[in-house]
Amino acid sequence: MGSLKGIQHNAWFRGNLEGISSVELNKILNFRDKLSLKIFSHVHLQAKLNIKSIESSNKTYKNYSQLKKLSKNSYLAIIKQLRDWILNLSFKKETSIWQNYSKENTYDQFEYDEKKLIVSEFIKRKNPNTVVDLGCNDGEYSNLCLDLGAKLVVGFDFDHNAISRAFGKANLSKKNFLPLVLDAANPSPNHGWFQKERKGFLERFKSEVLIALAFEHHLIIGKNIPIEQFIDWILKISNNGLIEFVPKSDQTIQKMLQSREDIFLDYSEVNFENCLKSKSNIVNKNTITKSGRVIYEYNLIS
């Protein structure tokens, strides 16, 4: 799916615990795709065999002992071959607006250094075992947290290209960094048998600290999420964290509003701060850019 067609298959897996069947996948692939020996044998032929087995189940076999069975070693060989094949696949890259954000952003060098210093001091002071990095992009700040002593960082981003780069870097460095694709406005729910077989995002990811840098406007402006609901959601993930607020005067939000009406009349630093203050303690506040970006450090009111 991802390697041949560039189809973002995460939502498919969320809807079906057993993944994408070979029968469904075979219907999507064209003749040229099936010229690959691996695809022909592991997808096309498997789909045909599955259909044949369903059709055969309606028939009565005279002697089941005559049916040919695969040995355990044959099964293991197939699984190993599949594993090796999948490990060498790469996602078909599609152009995305945030794919080069870590290199092409609105920070100058001083602002970038200031932001990095704030994150560093926060992590040193908290000395967390676990960190959740919302909007991790290619993992720059996640890796900074690990370098400063965090034992595990789970990073989330909507952009598949950025997450692919983050995974590649983590795999090479052998750091305990797990980058995952997440549509924060539509996260995975509780599902499966009794709705308990797989837990939803909020049930699975609780963390000692959280960093959400250049993230909130993607939900509040990009997805029309009210400020209060955004903060409630953040506080359910971690009792301690850093949140970067991006004002309307910032170039990034100006671009987001170019093709849509500005209906966000209550979107302001004052309203954001008052809402955060009503639900948590604001420990520190630092303005980091000329456009007015602010990083808030909070801890949850006990």
Tell me if 100 is assigned to some domain.
no
In the 8-state DSSP scheme, what is residue 185? T
Tell me if 92 is assigned to some domain.
no
| Residue that terminates a domain, selected from 54, 87, 120 | 87
Same domain, 78 and 181: no
Same domain, 206 and 71: no
For residue 37, which amino acid is it? Answer: L
Q: Which of 263, 274, 272 is nearest to 293 (CA)?
A: 272
97-101, Cβ contacts within 8 angstroms, sequence gap of 24 or more:
98/137, 98/157, 98/158, 98/159, 98/162, 99/159, 99/161, 99/162, 101/137, 101/162, 101/214
pLDDT at residue 102, rounded to an integer: 58
pLDDT at residue 75, rounded to an integer: 84
Percent of the chain surpassing pLDDT 70: 88
Q: For 6-30, what is each residue's pLDDT tens digit?
A: 667 777 777 777 777 888 888 888 8
pTM for the predicted model, two decimal places: 0.81
Which of 93 and 51 is assigned the larger pLDDT?
Answer: 51
Domain that holds residue 120: 109-300
Same domain, 275 and 186: yes
- State the pLDDT confidence band at 60, using cuts at 50, 70 and 90: low
Q: Token pair for residue 60?
A: 């009565």
CATH number of the domain within which 253 lies: 3.40.50.150
Mean pLDDT is highest, among 99-113, 116-130, 160-174, for: 116-130
Same domain, 33 and 117: no
The structural domain count of the chain equals 2
Same domain, 117 and 45: no
Q: For 264-280, what is each residue's pLDDT tens digit?
A: 999 999 999 999 999 99
Same domain, 48 and 122: no
**Rounded (10°) angle between helices 227-237 and 269-279:** 40
Same domain, 83 and 113: no
Tell me if 253 is assigned to some domain.
yes
Same domain, 159 and 216: yes
Which of 125 and 39 is assigned the larger pLDDT?
Answer: 125
pLDDT over 80 (residue 125): yes
pLDDT at residue 1, rounded to an integer: 62
First-to-last alpha carbon distance for the chain, in angstroms, is: 46
pLDDT over 60 (residue 63): no
Same domain, 271 and 159: yes
Mean pLDDT on 256-271? 94
Q: For 39-53, what is each residue's pLDDT tens digit?
A: 888 888 888 877 877
